[in-house]
Structure 1
Amino acid sequence: MAPIVLDAVTLRRVIVGFHGGLADHRQVIDNLNVYPVPDGDTGTNMTLTMKSVVESLDGVADDLDPLCTALAHGALMGARGNSGVILAQILRGVSGVLRDSAVAGSVPDAPVVARALAAASDGAYSAVARPVEGTILTVIREASESAQAAAAAGGGLTEVFDAARERGYDALERTPEMLAVLAEAGVVDAGGAGLLLLFDACLAEIDGRPMPEAPELSAAPAPAAVASEARPVEESSIADLRYEVMFLLDAPDPSVDGFKAAWQEIGDSIVVVGGDGIWNCHIHTDDIGAAIEAGIAVGRPHRIQITDLLDQAAEHSESFEAPDQLLSLDDASSAPAVQITEADQCSVVAVGAGAGVVEILMSMGANRVVAGGQSMNPSTAELLAAVDSLPTGHVVVLPNNKNIIPVAEQVDGETERTVCVVPTRSVVEGIASLLAFSPGATAAQNSEAMADAAESVTPGEVTQAVRDASSSAGPITTGDWLGIGPDGIAAVESDAAAAATALLSTIIDDDHELLTVLTGTDADAATTEAIVGHVAEHHPDVEVEVTEGGQPLYPYYFGLE
């Protein structure tokens, strides 16, 4: 009997099955969100990423060469959020080895698949300058190690995927021991949980096993049981490094390791992704000249963009599922039309959800608004479509959400336009940044000025807990109201008004003069009046402006200036 191989027909079925498995388990994976708020996003982002991959395979012949090429491109273009970007890198690694084996005439058997999983792990790690264990990276690395061992021992494809799956689930169970934030939240890593469904899909196709009806995830150990062993999450140095430098780099593949080593000496938040002579490079640094010179030393940097970074604390990832939608000026009749003239060379694409939020963004200068944020992380393809719909050669993108930033950063490499991303992590920052937008300036000039404007805003938000958890603000019970500031959960209360006022008491300081309140679909007049009254009584020098935003899930967004 001939050995089982991962041919094109089987690979296509695996991809379709993986997407179906993610769709079935999306909500469970979303619920592994570290924050107990109704915006767990990993399951949704991975599902939508794979939806784009499946669609990219339509019409492609059952041949590994074109199929793997389409798979890699579909993953890149459809990647949503951090989890989607990492998943795209994993799929790119797998597809690259399978494609090369097909071109060389090799059979995609167990040893080839094991090498493909190793390439997937290497690709995922190489894309992140300072990988953190206890994440999807750990799961793919350990799974690939066991897959290689099984292949080396003479195992077939079934044994390879069995070994990868078993080791992967074991690694997933141990993620809270590696990351204190997971242990404190009582969850395992969501990205790793989603990835393991890939191995389930593989075994379903080659061995006839049914996909699991529920994720085979045991509860994470109680926080107290692992807190002493948990390693701290590596903190980003964004607050200490002023500039974001991004460019495409034409350079030979062997030279890139030296290039990354040079960057390690001058900055942080380093991501270098690509291959075959073209690389997308990103760094936070204080030395712009050295960052660019490192590229010149190995090749040709181009499409250089420099942004003056925001001094922001990390905030939690946000998303929810919503219909794919591109909102333009024609879709918002109540928003003043922002006409693009021949003298203009730059436009703005913003991300937002809620009729009021969209109207505000467009009235202040956004030319296109892509639906997303708390409810959905738009894909690279959706952002690209918005960018390419504009007539200007320069475009600024406002992600308005931490989790959308890495997706937005992919757009520049996929268009002839010059695209700069202002790393806005909230809607209120995006609104503030538009005050500094000039249609006659370049994207780079605008992004620097707009980042400065966004830096002047302190964001906050109120939402309701969807599960029990612990936090630095105290224990959280399902249904509690949470006040979330730049440093995370700042207040846990029994009602929205109490959470809002407690949050504002922690983030308002003597320098603040204006509080903007964007009310969501779940806001009510009594709570809004209580918030306004609290500020008037305790912070009489702060003016309050209340505007209807219409955003779901979060009754209140706050912006302090």
Structure 2
Amino acid sequence: MPPTLDAALLRRWAAAAVAGLDRHRGELDGINVFPVADADTGTNMLLTMRAGADAVDQGSGDAAEIAAALAKGALRGARGNSGTILSQLLRGLAEALGAGEDLAGALRRASELATAAVAEPREGTMLTVIAAAAEAAAELGGDPVAVADAAHAAVARTTGQLAELSRAGVVDAGGLGVAVVLDALVEACAGRVPERSRVVVRDRAALTAARESGSEQYDSEVMYLLDRTTDDAVTALRARLTSLGDSVVVVGDGSGTWNVHVHCTDVGAAIEAGIEAGRPHRVTVMRFDDRPPEPERPTFRRSRAVLMIASGAGVAELARAAGADVLETRPGHTVSGRELADSVEATGAAHVALMTCDVGLLDLASRVAGAARDEGREVVVVPTTSVPQGLAALAVHDLSRNAADDVVAMAEAAAGTRTGGLVVAEAEALTWVGRCAPGEVLGMSEGEVVLIAPDLTVGALWLAHRMLTPGGELVTALLGADAPEELGSGLAEDLRRTHPEVDVVVYRGGQVDFPLVLGVE
């Protein structure tokens, strides 16, 4: 049965595709001989997919909007020939979902776009594998397992379809990367990674010879984004680039931005052609002989860490006691990207679960995580929008589990925690529950004012009882820097009497914005 490509599935697919390409990056780079044996197909596809996934992390909306964000992010971050074509697979997905089509329609459109983007399509490449996947989806009803199986079968045939692959005794690296992305869809649907045999290099000496030969005709790869253009200008540009070099791929995102790729020797002419067609920007030129070596992976002091952003000395102490590294913020200070990146690096861990405990910092955390991954450190943002959610996540953190399962458990614990707090009104105001006067206490729950109380003691009781209406097993109370101890002890005594089934813990959080913060799990 074909899957329903909803927003949640697309997010899981994007994340699984990044993880899959990361696992297979070395394998894909190692067999890369076409169109140029420059050992970067896996890296380029990973960076392209990661750019798309990062755009999804920062976006919202329905499936069509998520797919559009994925495609645009991938096109703007596309690397190399393989990444540029991969962006068209994602654009096909976006266009099909926007038109109300299913997976079969998405792969059919992806095949059309990818083939049209390449100036001189060749059999035995990524295009062949995408076409085989589209055909299987149409014939077999869009079953992800059947589609992925068909892609891998097509990959196996590429050795005999392309002379360059046959001489080196390998399959097409880009085609295998497409199959990995489709395996990620199976994982996103079924929760498991399909078992596949690793690529076997038939003739290591022939592969080495192909890798050392580089490009026989051209010495540079030129890429740029192009806008302020027209379809006719793009057609003329593609023809001009074909006369200058090979591996010409010119692809669009459907909204006026194009990604241009060519292997050539006359770099200036390739860029001038772009200027004639529109406005080129983000120009990248790489000489095949001068490609920098793969950056060295950093060395790590430990395998895993949890990093939590905490406002308040008490909260910071609780987080450290639970095993977390802490970026402690001071009142009125906004965390910068540099501070957060430095704190991630200071953990010394290869895998970092990052918790912001603040919805306003989630976008920043996603950007920092993306940059850290590019440098070889895996950083996963665990969605937490409050301190109680962060503490709940820490309570289930378990280093004996594998990292992925541990992050899922932490995210589930955070999502299962309701948060509320008390603030003292400084001026008269109209709220959702009526008009408040200066000095009155506002009870907040999930970002909304839900009650007005005469003082903190009454407000604490009313808010706790309201938050327990849907049920709960544990109430965590965090006292602010200036809150009296009696506020916590009185609340705990009342809840033990009125809700004996609920455990109550009170800590001195030390926060200055809320006299009291409550979490209900």
TM-score w.r.t. structure 1 length?
0.42
TM-score (structure 2 length as normaliser): 0.45
Q: Which has the higher contact order (CA 8 A, sep 6+)?
A: 1
| Rg comparison, structure with higher value | 2
